[in-house]
Amino acid sequence: MWSRVMKMDELKKTTWKAAIAIGIAMLMVFVCVFRTSNVTTLVILLNFALLGVVSVVTRSRLRYLLVVALTGLLALELALYHEGKPAISAAFFASVLVRFFLVALLVAYFSSVLTEASHRIYFDARRLADERQEALSVSQRLLSRLNALVEVISAISTRNELKDVLSVGLEQTRKVFNADSGLVYRVSRAERRLLIMSSFGYSDELLDKMMEKGVTFASSCEACGSMKPVAVDNLATDEKCPNLARVTSGSSICLPIISEDNLWGVLHIRRRNPDAFTAEDVQLAQAVAYQFALAMQRAYLFDEVNLLAITDPVTELYNHRKMTRDLDREVVRSKRYMHEFSFIMADIDFFKDFNDTYGHQAGDAVLHEAARELDSGRREVDRVYRYGGEEFAILLPETSGREAFDVAEKLRRRVESMKVAVEGLSEPLSITISMGVASFPGDGRDIEPLVEAADEALYRAKQSGRNRVIAHRDRGEGHRARGV
């Protein structure tokens, strides 16, 4: 802005100079043609016009030689025109030439000054126009990128499921960068791997191979290790991480998806041409990756809240609310597909005595270790819950009563053989557990009768001497019990 004001002041000054120069030139031309003949006046005016044109269109100093040449031409005209006519005085002859020469010098000089100033102002104005156009282009580019980022944010914010969020966000990213392929990975900390959540530009066969192979992010992902964007300008020749070893064309950006120093995943985008991503592209991609990070963090916190709502804080098992929900689904599913399933109720023997003798801290330790043993000893399809107090429940999908009895007996033996170390006690504690087994549909065709059947079987186990498993039967086989 300041330079523009300076140029305007300079243009104003130059305009004034031009006006003064033109006024002086007109005066000098009048002085130059004073008392000359019409032919001489015409020659002088033509000479000035030629000199003015040459001085304006060229900045060469040869224009001063033109002044000399035109002065000689005027002298020749004076001599030839007045030959055979009344002679003119030598003084008048000399005065015309001197006046013409001086005025010609002034015309050449002021014309060159005006030319240089006008050229300078023209080029400055041209440069300012180019700068303005460039600034406008930059503004439009930044605005388009901002709009693209807003579109990504809008697309992400209108979805709730994480997979939908990442799929829609990645599609918007493809449009923003005109990318040919891309992936969003999620970090699985338990497996120390990157799991593909969404992609574009890859065949199903290639995706299956990538999922089968997996990516160990701690060792092979450069973006994960450095926690910074990694751009490869030419995948054919530049150094790249092992995960891109088979990609031999184009350019790519890998960006860690980070929020609050937590690594949630990786965003990878690629174009088929080398050197296709600018520094501005990397900055925009970072902003997009940050939006993915916020979405992943939000989904993680949502899962954490949901998990806390269905998890018992002491044993870290699912709680009674989760058990009721799972039982309801299992009843519906088993009725639809005509499957059996079983339900086990378990109770730690003499738990009140542990609390009264060793304190509630020891009781919590016993609960925690018993829960850990039951959860680690279950089958993969089974689920263990804390029913309440010292009671546990186990859901066994698609499992008959006889199979459930064997599972319960195995778990009983595991608990019987375990030792519980309690702070402040020199010797670890031993515990036992009693268990009651009920099966759907034989022992109950709905949740309440099934739970009551298992609870009744558990009561019989405790009444029979504890540390045993009893199955609730109503098919004429009686009660089957095993224990010590």
| CATH code, 248 | 3.30.450.40
Nearest to 149 by CA among 256, 12, 41, 288: 288
Pair 343, 327: CB distance under 8 Å: yes
Angle at 179 between CA 178 and CA 182, to 5 degrees: 145
For 457, the enclosing helix (H) or strand (E) is helix 447-463
- Per the structure, the count of domains in the chain is 3
Return the structure tokens found at 101: 């020469």
Last residue of a domain, one of 110, 132, 154: 132
Are residues 90 and 205 located together in one domain of the fold? no
Pair 272, 237: CB distance under 8 Å: no
Are residues 418 and 328 located together in one domain of the fold? yes
Last residue of a domain, one of 280, 305, 330: 305
Burial per residue of 74-105, b for 16 or more beta-carbon CB atoms within 10 angstroms, e otherwise: bbebbeeeeeeeeebeeeeeeebbebbbebbb
- Reported as a single tens digit per residue, the pLDDT across 404-460 is 999 999 999 999 999 888 877 778 888 999 999 999 998 999 999 999 999 999 999
Residue 412 inside a domain? The answer is yes
Residue 336 inside a domain? The answer is yes
pLDDT at 124 (0 to 100):
74
pLDDT at 478 (0 to 100):
34
Pair 215, 243: CB distance under 8 Å: yes
pLDDT at 330 (0 to 100):
94
Residue 150 inside a domain? The answer is no
pLDDT at 341 (0 to 100):
96
Rounded-to-integer distance, Cα 70 and Cα 258, Å: 80
Are residues 343 and 273 located together in one domain of the fold? no
pLDDT at 251 (0 to 100):
92
Whole-number Cα distances in Å, 158 to 155, 185, 196, 267, 358: 6, 21, 22, 20, 54
Last residue of a domain, one of 277, 305, 333: 305
Pair 152, 169: CB distance under 8 Å: yes
Are residues 289 and 326 located together in one domain of the fold? no
Residue 152 inside a domain? The answer is no
Residue 148 inside a domain? The answer is no
For 35, the enclosing helix (H) or strand (E) is none
Rounded-to-integer distance, Cα 80 and Cα 76, Å: 6
Are residues 343 and 437 located together in one domain of the fold? yes
Q: Answer whether the bond into residue 229 is a cis peptide, omega within 30°.
A: no
Q: How far is CA 207 from the centre of its chain?
A: 22
**The pTM is what?**
0.54
Whole-number Cα distances in Å, 294 to 264, 302, 409, 445: 9, 12, 47, 45
Q: Which domain holds residue 216?
A: 162-305
pLDDT at 483 (0 to 100):
44
- Residue identified by tokens 């609050």 is 260
Are residues 181 and 94 located together in one domain of the fold? no
Q: What is the pairing mode between strands 433-440 and 468-471?
A: parallel
Are residues 327 and 474 located together in one domain of the fold? yes
pLDDT at 459 (0 to 100):
93
Pair 296, 186: CB distance under 8 Å: yes
Q: Report helix, strand or coil for 439.
A: strand
Return the structure tokens found at 176: 């923003």
Are residues 300 and 340 located together in one domain of the fold? no
In the beta sheet, which residues pair with residue 438? 343
Are residues 385 and 478 located together in one domain of the fold? yes
Are residues 434 and 387 located together in one domain of the fold? yes
Nearest to 370 by CA among 324, 322, 312: 312
User: How many residues are given for the chain?
Assistant: 484
Q: What is Dmax (Cα atoms) for the chain?
A: 161
Residue 30 inside a domain? The answer is yes
Angle at 472 between CA 469 and CA 477, to 5 degrees: 105
pLDDT at 474 (0 to 100):
40
Residue 140 inside a domain? The answer is no
Q: How many other CB atoms sit within 10 Å of the CB of residue 383?
A: 19
Tens of pLDDT, residue by residue, the chain (484 residues) = 555 555 556 666 766 766 676 677 677 777 777 677 777 778 777 877 787 777 766 666 777 788 788 888 878 877 776 644 455 567 777 877 887 788 777 777 777 766 666 667 667 777 878 888 887 877 777 777 777 777 777 767 766 677 888 888 888 888 888 899 999 988 876 667 788 888 898 888 877 777 766 666 655 788 887 888 888 999 888 888 777 777 888 999 999 988 888 888 899 999 999 998 888 888 888 888 888 888 888 878 887 788 788 899 889 899 999 999 999 999 999 999 999 999 999 999 999 888 888 888 888 889 999 999 999 999 999 999 999 999 999 999 999 999 999 999 999 999 999 988 887 777 888 899 999 999 999 899 999 999 999 999 999 999 999 999 999 874 333 344 444 4
Rounded-to-integer distance, Cα 346 and Cα 446, Å: 20
Rounded-to-integer distance, Cα 341 and Cα 339, Å: 7
Residue 430 sits at φ, ψ, to 5 deg, of -110, 145
Are residues 8 and 60 located together in one domain of the fold? yes
Residue 94 inside a domain? The answer is yes
| CATH code, 346 | 3.30.70.270
Are residues 336 and 474 located together in one domain of the fold? yes
Rounded-to-integer distance, Cα 199 and Cα 432, Å: 52
